[in-house]
A and B are shown apart, each in its own frame.
Chain A
Amino acid sequence: MPTILPSEKAASVNPLKSSQPLGAAFAFLGIEGSVPLFHGSQGCTSFALVLFVRHFKETIPLQTTAMDEVATIMGGADHLEEAIMNLKTRVKPKLIGICTTALVETRGEDFAGDLALIRARRAEALAGTEVVLANTPDFSGSIEEGWSKAVTALIDGITAPNPTFRDPRRVAILAGPDLTVADLEEIRDTVEAFGLEPTILPDISGSLDGTVPGKWIPVSYGGTPIEAIRSLGECGHCLALGETQRAAAEALSAKCGVPHTMFDTPTGLAAADRFVTALAELSGNPVPARLLRRRSQLADALLDGHFHFGGKKIAIAAEPDLLYRLSTFFVGMGAEIAAAVTTTGTSAILKRIPAETVRVGDFGDLERMAEGCDLIVGHSHARQAAERLAIPLMRVGFPIFDRLGTQHRCHVLWRGTRDLIFEAANLFQAAVPEPTPERLESFRTQEAHHVRRTPSDARAH
C-alpha cells in the first residue's frame, strides 16, 4: 500500500487538476441534447469551454449564469432562473446540467431550494427539459469528483424508482471520464457481441466523437438519451468501470435495486478477462470467436512487448482512476512506477496504486520526481516538464490539446490493452540511445553502485 502524501506547498506549480465543475460538465456532455450550465461568473465557463474545445476540437455547448458584481452580493437565484429560461427558449435542450462554481458556493446559497422553486414556478414552460444540479465548487475535487456528482445527480433526478419490469438483457455501464470515445465503442461492441443491450452513462462516444452533423445543433448531438436514463432501473445489472462510478452505481442500486459489479480497471489481460466473464455470465452465451481472437492477440502482444518494459521507470501524473489503470498496466508489464502524482487524495483506489508513494500535487512535483525516468505519462500540460527533462511523454487523460486523434485511441479490454502495449513500447524503442563507450562506462559504474546498495537504500533513492 502506498503512502499518500498530501500537498505541502502553498503555490501549486503547473497544475495537474482541472476544475470540478468542468468534470461535471464533461459528464453532462455525454447526455443527448444537453447543455451544461455553469453557475458562476462568465470567465468560469469561458475557461472550461476553451479547454474542452482545445481537447475535443469540437463545438461545445456550455453556458453561464453570468454572475456579476451585483448578483454576487445580492444572490444569484435570479440569474439562475433567467439562464435556465433563456436556454429553454433559445436551444430547447433535453437536459440542462447545472454545475455550481466556487464563486456561488462561497456565497453559499440554497441551490437545490432555488431550483425546486424555479421548477415549480415554471413547470409548464420547462416541460420536456430535465434540470439537474451538481454541487461542484472549484475549491475541492477535480474532474473525477465533478463527474461522479453529475452522474449521481442524473440518476437521482431522472431515473424512475422501483421499476415494475426488469430486462435481463439490458446492462447499465457506468463509464468514467478517463475513457475515450474509442474505449466506449470497444466496450459497447464487446457487450453487444454477447447479445446484451448496453446503456452507457454518460456516453461521450455519441456526442464527442467528432462528426460532421450537417446542420447547426446548439446542444450535445448524441450521447445517452434521457429516456434511457429514466428507464435505467429496468437494467438487469450494472457494471461500473472505475472507483469514480461507485457513488452512482450505489445510487442506482438503492433507488431501483439494480445489482452492480465494480471494475477497478478495464485495462490489462486479467481485468479484461474479468469484464468479459461478467458478460458471459449475464448473457449465458459463450465468448464469440472474434473476441477470443483479440484475447490471443493480446497474449501475443504481451510476449512481444514485455522486452521493452522490463525495468523501465515510469512517472505518471493522472486522476486517481486513470493513475490506477496505467500504473497497474505498466507494473504488469514489468516496469516500475518511480513517480506517481494525482489530483486529489480522497479516492479509495489510491491505496492500491502499485507505487511507494502517491503525491497529491502538480506537474512541478512530477518534474522534480521524474528525473532519471524512462517515460512520463500525463496530459498535455506535462509537455514542459518532459521537454526540460528530455524524457518522452505519453499523453493520456484530459486535456490533450497538442495531439490529434486522442479520442480514437483505445486502451481498454483485450484490443485496447494490445494497442497500449504497442504505443508505449514504440515510445521506449524510439528513445533507445546508441551504445557508446561513455554510456557503457556509466552503465558499469551504476551496476557496481547497485550491488553496494541495500534494498532500503534503493527505495530511498
Chain B
Amino acid sequence: MLSPKVQALFDEPACDRNVAKDEKARKKGCSKPLTPGAAAGGCAFDGAKIALQPITDVAHLVHAPLACEGNSWDNRGAGSSGPMLWRTSFTTDLSELDVVMGQGERKLYRAIREIVEAHAPPAIFVYETCVTALVGDDIGAVCRHASEKFATPCIPVHAAGFVGSKNLGNKLAGEALLDHVIGTHEPDDVGPTDVLILGEFNLSGEFWLVKPLLDELGIRVRTCIPGDARYLDVAAAHTVRATMMVCSTALITLARKMEERWGIPWFEGSFYGIADTSEALRRLAGLLVERGADPTLIARTEAVIAREEAVARAALERFRPRLAGKRVLLNTGGVKSWSVVSALMEIGIEIVGTSVKKSTEEDKERIRQIFKDETHAFDGMAPRDLYALLERRDADIMLSGGRTQFIALKARMPWLDINQERVHPYAGYAGMVELVRQIDLALHNPIWDAVRAPSPFDADGRLRAGVSVIGRPEARGTDGGGVSAERANSDVDGAMAGATRSSSPPGGREPEGGRLSDIDADGNRPPAVASECNSPPLASGTGGRVAAAAIGALGAPSTGAVESEIHTSIFRKFAASGDGDQDDC
C-alpha cells in the first residue's frame, strides 16, 4: 500500500540529481542503503514529524509504542506566534497487550476522541510507525471514521520508520498534506500577492526576521509550511500566487505537484545570507508581478533590498578586523552549505571546507562557483576523521548541527550550532549579522586559551618539566630558566609559559596542602613519589624535589605562590579535566 507511493517519490522530475540517475538507480531511492553497525541519522517517521510538527494549532498523535514519541518530543525550537498545542505530546503508547491482542486501532480511535474532547483542535495528524505498520493497523480507516464521527479532520501520515530515511519521511509528510489537507479550505480573502513559503521551519522564530520585510512590501504570507503554520492556512495554501521553496530537498515534490495541480509557480531560494535573501525577495516580487500583482512591487522591493543590504553590510563591516582570516569549517548540508558562505567570505572569513553530504546537484554547483574548485567540498566525514582535522587546528571554528557538537568541543574547537536545536535566529539580513556576531563571540571566548594550554601535570599527575610555582632552588639550577613565582605570574605566551602560569601543585591552599602532607606522613609514600617522578618524561633528579617542595610550601608559602594560586584558580578548573584524565580512556 505504501510501496507505490514510495516508488513514486523516488521519481522526482524536479530534482536534478534524481533525473540524472538511470532507472535502476532511481528505484533504490535517494539515500544510500544503510550499513548495520555504521549508520547514523533519523528514520522516515522522524522526517515526517519534523516536517509537520511546527504546524502549531493541531494535535500530533503518534500511534506507536513509547519510544517513537516518548524519546523524541519537545526537542526542536520552532517558534509559534500563538497556539501551543503542537508542543503537547500525544502518543497511544502501545503496551504489549495492545500489540498482542490487536487493540491498536481501537486505542487509536479512543485517543483521537480524548484529544478532540480535551482540546478541540482544528485537525489531528496521526503518525504511523514501524510496529503499527507491521501489525497492520489501518490508520487510514481509523482516521476516515474518526474524521466523520468527530467532525475533525484526522490526517494519516504513512511514514513508518523502516521505509527509509528522514528525507523520505519529509517527502511522505508532503504527500499527506497534498492528499488530505491542501485544497480543502477555500478562504474568502484571496489576494494577488499571497505567497507560500515551503520548507521554512521558523527555528528560533527566525522567519520573523524576514516576514516584516514582506509585510512592508505588501506581500502576504498565506502560510509557511510548516513553520508557525495554522491548519486552515495550510488547507488554503492552494490559493497562493507563488511558492518559494526554502529547504531544497525536503518538500520539492510538494512544490512540483502544487504547480501541476493548481498552476502555482515556484522557485528555490534561501533566507540565509545577504545576497540570497535579496535574491529571494526579488524572485518573489518578480513571480507575483508576472501573475498580475502591482508592477511597482519590483521597484519597491529593490528599494527595500538596497536599504537592508546597506544596513547589514555596515553592521558586518564592524566585524572584519576581528574575523578576517579566520578559518571556518561548515559541516552541515543542503542550502546552508553555500548560502552563508558568500556573506562570510565578504568580510574576509576563509571557508576551509563545507560538507555536501545532504546537498543537491544545484547546491554543489553553487559551491563550485563560489570556491572556483571542488577541493573545499567534502562528502561527510567519519567522527574520527573530523576529530583529527579539528585537533590539527585546520580550522578556527566549526559550524554544524548538534550531532557533531561534542566532536568539536572535545577537540577544544570553537563550535556554533546552525541546525535545528540552535537558539539564535540566522535568517534574513539581521540574522546574517547575528550569525557573524555569534561566530565572533564563539571564536574570541577566553576559555579557549585556558582549555588549550597544556596541563602542568602529566597523565600520572606528576609535574611536567619546568613547572614551578614556588620557585624551587633545584628547578632554577637545572632548568636554567629560573622559573620563579614572580615569573610565573607574568603574562608570557607559549606552551611552557602557559603550563608555568597554571601550575598549582601544593600551593598555599589548605585542602591540597593537607592531602600532600598526608601522603608525606604516610611512611613509604614520599620516596615512592620520588622514585616514580624520576622516570621520564620528567628530567632526572627533579622527582625528589617535588616532595621536598611540597613540604616547603606547607612550611612557608611565599606570597608569590599564594598570588599565583589565585591567578590560576580559574584555569585549574579546566586543567582538572584536561590531560591528567587520560588514564580514564
A interface residues (Cβ-Cβ under 8 A, vs B) = 7, 9-15, 17-22, 37, 40-48, 50-51, 53-54, 57-59, 63-69, 71-72, 79-80, 82-87, 90, 101-103, 106-107, 137-140, 142, 206, 210-218, 221-222, 364, 381, 384, 401
Contacts and interface: CB of A to CB of B under 8 A. Distances in A.
Interface in B59-97: 61, 64-75, 87-96
Interface in B267-313: none
Nearest to B390: A216
Contacts of B8: none
A138 B162 contact: no
A86 B162 contact: no
B39 interface: yes
A358 to B, nearest CB: 18
Contacts of B46: 43, 46-47
Contact of B89 (A13, A54, A58): A13
B152 to A, nearest CB: 14
A58 B68 CA distance: 22
B39 A213 contact: no
Contacts of B581: 211-214
B162 A107 contact: no
A59 B75 contact: no
A64 B39 contact: yes
A401 B406 CA distance: 15
B45 A384 contact: no
Contacts of B184: none
Nearest to A48: B71
A318 B45 CA distance: 28
B71 A47 contact: yes
* The 10 residue pairs across chains A and B that have the minimum distance between CB atoms: A43-B43, A86-B37, A83-B37, A10-B110, A19-B67, A11-B111, A83-B36, A66-B34, A139-B65, A216-B387
B407 A59 contact: yes
17 contacts: A10-B109, A11-B91, A11-B110, A12-B70, A12-B92, A19-B67, A42-B40, A47-B46, A50-B75, A50-B403, A53-B405, A65-B37, A66-B39, A90-B37, A102-B131, A216-B388, A222-B585
B259 interface: no
A138 B91 contact: no
Contacts of A43: 42-46, 68, 130, 161
Given A12-B70, A46-B41, A213-B582, 15 more contacts: A12-B92, A20-B66, A42-B40, A46-B40, A46-B46, A47-B71, A64-B34, A65-B37, A66-B37, A69-B162, A72-B130, A138-B131, A212-B581, A216-B388, A222-B584
B149 to A, nearest CB: 15
A221 B584 contact: yes
Nearest to A7: B93
A63 B38 contact: yes
Nearest to A46: B42
A213 B584 contact: yes
B357 interface: no
B402 interface: yes
A64 B69 contact: no
A412 B550 CA distance: 34
B90 A12 contact: yes
Interface residues on B, range: 35 or more
Contacts of A9: 111, 114
B460 to A, nearest CB: 14
A41 B90 contact: no
B555 to A, nearest CB: 24
A384 B88 contact: yes
A15 B91 contact: yes
Contacts of B95: 139-140
Contacts, number: 240
Contacts of B37: 37, 63-66, 82-87, 90
Contacts of B99: 102, 106, 139
A57 B87 CA distance: 23
A106 B94 CA distance: 12
B162 A59 contact: no
B67 A11 contact: no
Contact of B36 (A66, A142, A214, A401): A66
B115 A11 contact: yes
Contacts of B71: 18-19, 22, 47-48, 51
Contact of B96 (A68, A82, A140, A211): A140
A435 to B, nearest CB: 33
A185 B35 CA distance: 38
Nearest to A58: B406
A213 B410 contact: yes
A86 B577 contact: no
Contacts of A65: 36-37
Contacts of A84: 37
Interface in B78-136: 87-96, 98-99, 107-115, 130-131, 134-135
Given A10-B111, A101-B67, A211-B577, A139 B42 contact: no
Most buried by B among A43, A213, A364: A43
B412 interface: yes
A105 B173 CA distance: 27
A51 B112 CA distance: 27
B410 A59 contact: yes
B231 to A, nearest CB: 19
Interface string B535-572: 00000000000000000000000000000000000000
Given A37-B37, A59-B406, A139 B162 contact: no
A68 B584 contact: no
B38 to A, nearest CB: 5
Given A11-B90, A15-B93, A85-B37, A53 B114 contact: no
B310 to A, nearest CB: 39
